[in-house]
Structure 1
Amino acid sequence: MKITSREFSVRGFTYIIRSAEEYDARSLSEVRLQIDGETENMDREQGEGYIDEVGFRSIIQKDTEVLNHLFLVAEADGRIAGFSRCEGSPLRRLSHKVEFGVCVLKEYWGYGIGKMLLQESIGWADAQDIKKISLSVLETNVKAIAIYEKAGFETEGVLKNDKRLSDGNYYNTVLMAKLLNH
């Protein structure tokens, strides 16, 4: 599915949120690899679960064609600063909901990019008559949890000792969701 591009400006910094296009595939592969090395908030360590240009091209093509999928990019300074995806299920019993995921390059943190990707995704889901958006977030990512709570997400559960980080300790994953009103 696609959305109409929108421009945002925060403290003199301007970026665009738009639907991912196939020509973004190479940049997305590079950006995802970089983000995975910048933070432990992601499920992967840098290089794990690598998706190359061909892989991203395939994901973008599918997400464009399938009604309960959405792939957004945030473009700033002529490059991709972050991206988000909503992925729904083809199964009828699960087709009312989507799973949301987001990541932003560290140099672009603090400009509301993740928050705006989330808001654009919520608006899209609402327009598509999707009833529920769910996500998972590492318990230590308190800024993201606060953004999700402010957007109306609630904690549905906690996966205890779900991830082991570089310090050797185990951390919980918080499962959150937002029910949409229709």
Structure 2
Amino acid sequence: MAAGRRSELVLHINAEAHRLTLDHRTTLLDALREHLGLTGAKKGCDHGQCGACTVLVDGRRANSCLLLAVAQGGRRITTVEGLADGERLHPLQEAFIERDAFQCGYCTPGQLCSAVGMLAEAADGFPSHVTPPTAASGTPVTLTGDEIRERMSGNLCRCGAYPRIVDAVREAGAEAGTATWTHGRPPGRGAAS
């Protein structure tokens, strides 16, 4: 391969700098999985339609199968491996476990990264298709079940664990103060929690 088709770059992934020399056609997903051994993001459709490869780029969710790695220099990339704080799981990871929001687990890393990004988008006041037109612009969006389903619709689950995923996202969002429950406390949660 000609030298002009490869570039040396530094990718900032999960708060660590990684120096790589990559073919210009290498996707971020392939760089993560094949060059860095970060296999949490999955290659599902490889066309940006299933969400299994979702990661966070500068805090916003993105399908890593559609991004060229050489274009990600200087950006902060977070994969599912970077969500936990040492041994302490991210609140969404805890909620997914508690709410049994996965079956085969293939889509779970993408669902988790997407949910983290989605909660931030809602907190920042980004409306979705189902956000009422009367909602004040720029204010946090109330995360009802419909809001969560709409915002997570780009992440497919072959097993159909959607109701549990919605419960887990709503629970984590409520505990973080970025979502509200429309029917009292989260199901299955005691008064002491």
TM-score range, shorter chain: 0.3 to 0.5
TM-score for the superposition, normalised by structure 2: 0.31
Larger radius of gyration: 2
More strand by share: 1
TM-score for the superposition, normalised by structure 1: 0.33
Question: Which has the bigger relative contact order, CA under 8 A and spacing at least 6?
Answer: 2
